[in-house]
Amino acid sequence: MATQRAAPKDGWCSRGGDYGITPLRTSVLRYFKRATGFRSRVRRHGQPKLGSRPARLATLAAALAVLSVALAPAAAEANRTRPTALVAYYPSDRLPLIVRSLNRAGFPSTSLVYFGNYSAQPRHGARIATSTSPGEIAGKRYRWAPILQMAESTLWDRRRVSRREAEKLATTGQNDLTGSMPSLARVLRGSERSRVRWGTELGRRFRDRFRARIRDGEPVAAWQFDEVRTEVAGSSGRRYRDFTRGILFGLHEGRKPLGDPPMRGLVHMSHNAFPIARARLTGELRRFWARVNSSSARLVGEEYPYFRGRASRVAYDQAAGQRALRRGGGDRAALSRRYLVGLTPGYIVTRSLGGNVDRRPRDWVNRWRADYIRARAKMGVAGFGEFNFMPPNDRDSVIGDVIRALAVGVRRLG
């Protein structure tokens, strides 16, 4: 028998059903009495006397207006918890096949499907796959969310804005930090204020890349951040958390003087970073979790299991980070409700990506993946994602198998 989840402490249900109207009744009535100057005279049977019919209609309209405002946060939270799928990091020439697989897989009409690649090349070293928005498929169902990596990239070289935008920023106090960013090591050695400021600038530089394209109607729906690193839970954790907090602020807020609206994104979090979810809250950790929560539409937990052993047991073990968030309360509990299970197709076998480590046949891999997704769906998650469709994960059969498994998982979330 499934265990019934307790309602969130704020009175809202996380998905469907009662949206907390009963707990609102007292506050709504109190508000609309103040707003309309209404004072009821109570009859013996306890019902208010409202006077003329126009007065009753005006009172009803005021109450409905107040109620719509009161329900707005619930509607926003419901959108953020719609069952979600994510496809990230793939060769651009495989995107048509990915889209055909998505179309055939049977995703619910209410689900969200995000996809995206990196949009900046590494500052040093080998190039990675990048792509622009394929506008012909992006829309209400398929949402383009390009990826920003924390690792040094060409975004670190300089700020890329037009001369007119630069002049506007100069008049609003954002005329510094325009040149080359220091190396990551130097940023981390700086003060807390310096780490947060450089992080904010990096996040804003990512938003700079898409500002003009958004104005031209290109469907940039969100961003992805890769990633909240393992190091946030280590001996230098605070330095990394400060820098991460700044990046997320810049990604979320953009540059207000240039008209950027707030934009939430998908925040990837390393599996080995989750021990900080169990740490006692300090002022600094409270600021960190508040920023992650306010910036993210989904928190993508990088579970990346080894395809070995009993899938349901492995799924329980990998869910430890989500459970720690849920027990933490506050911002952490809110993130646990928007937790998206991050997986990989399984045929790039490394220590960090997990996968089919024992070289099992395709049918066995598909059964194991399906069992894992089924077990995680029962635990209550916001969706499922697959990261890294580089060869050999780019084979037709692998893409089809993986996306069908995603669709089954999302359907289980209702």
Encode pLDDT of 314-342 as tens digits.
999 999 999 999 999 999 999 999 999 99
In three-state secondary structure terms, 149 is strand
Omega before 165 within 30 of 0, i.e. cis: no
Residues 364, 369, 370, 374, CA torsion sign: positive
Q: Which residues pair with 270 in a beta bridge?
A: 302
Considering the entire predicted model, what is its pTM? 0.80
Does position 116 have pLDDT exceeding 70, yes or no? yes
Residue spans in the chain of domains classed CATH 3.20.20: 74-412
Residue-level pLDDT at 139: 55
Residue-level pLDDT at 33: 44
Separation between Cα atoms, residue 302 and residue 385, nearest integer Å: 9
Which range, of 17-21, 113-117, 175-179, 375-379, averages the lowest pLDDT?
17-21
Does position 46 have pLDDT exceeding 70, yes or no? no
| Residue 248 neighbours by CB distance under 10 Å | 26
- Take residue 212 and report the two structure tokens written for it: 């003009």
Residue-level pLDDT at 141: 73
| Residue 115 neighbours by CB distance under 10 Å | 27
Residue-level pLDDT at 287: 98
Does position 123 have pLDDT exceeding 80, yes or no? no
Does position 202 have pLDDT exceeding 90, yes or no? yes
Reported confidence tier of residue 353, pLDDT bands at 50, 70, 90: very high
Average pLDDT, the chain: 83
Domain 74-412, CATH class in plain words: alpha beta
Rounded to 5°, angle at Cα 388 from 126 and 237: 75
DSSP secondary-structure letter at 62? H
Residue-level pLDDT at 2: 43
- For 46-79, b/e burial (b = at least 16 CB within 10 A) is eeeeeeeeeeeeebeebbeebbeebbeebeebbe
Q: What is the DSSP string of 214-254?
A: HHTT--B---EEEEE-GGGGSTTHHHHHHHHHHHHHHHHH-
Compute CA distances 112 → 119, 207, 222, 385, 408, whole Å: 21, 22, 12, 11, 14
Residue-level pLDDT at 126: 66
Reported confidence tier of residue 36, pLDDT bands at 50, 70, 90: very low
Reported confidence tier of residue 120, pLDDT bands at 50, 70, 90: confident
Separation between Cα atoms, residue 83 and residue 108, nearest integer Å: 9
- What is the side-by-side order of every strand in the sheet holding 84-88? 142-144, 112-116, 84-88, 383-387, 339-343, 296-302, 265-270, 224-228, 147-149
In three-state secondary structure terms, 196 is helix
Q: What are phi and psi of 180, to 5 degrees?
A: -70, 135
Compute CA distances 210 → 205, 236, 255, 341, whole Å: 9, 32, 12, 27
Does position 172 have pLDDT exceeding 90, yes or no? no
Q: What is the DSSP string of 110-122?
A: T-EEEEE-B-S-B
Does position 213 have pLDDT exceeding 70, yes or no? yes
Q: Closest by alpha carbon to 253, among 187, 208, 298, 219?
A: 208
Which range, of 57-66, 76-85, 207-216, averages the lowest pLDDT?
57-66
Residue-level pLDDT at 244: 98
Does position 236 have pLDDT exceeding 80, yes or no? yes
Does position 25 have pLDDT exceeding 50, yes or no? no
Reported confidence tier of residue 130, pLDDT bands at 50, 70, 90: low
Does position 285 have pLDDT exceeding 50, yes or no? yes
Separation between Cα atoms, residue 172 and residue 123, nearest integer Å: 29
Instruction: Say if CB 8 and CB 19 are below 8 A apart.
Output: no
Does position 174 have pLDDT exceeding 50, yes or no? yes
- For 283-294, b/e burial (b = at least 16 CB within 10 A) is eebeebbebbbe
Reported confidence tier of residue 66, pLDDT bands at 50, 70, 90: very low
Which range, of 119-128, 287-296, 336-345, averages the lowest pLDDT?
119-128
Separation between Cα atoms, residue 83 and residue 16, nearest integer Å: 12
Separation between Cα atoms, residue 120 and residue 198, nearest integer Å: 17
Residue-level pLDDT at 31: 39
Mean pLDDT, range 209-220, rounded to an integer: 81
Q: Please report, rounded to a whole number, the percentage of residues in the chain having pLDDT higher than 90.
A: 67
- For the ranges 81-85, 140-144, 218-222, the one whose mean pLDDT is highest: 81-85
Does position 144 have pLDDT exceeding 80, yes or no? yes
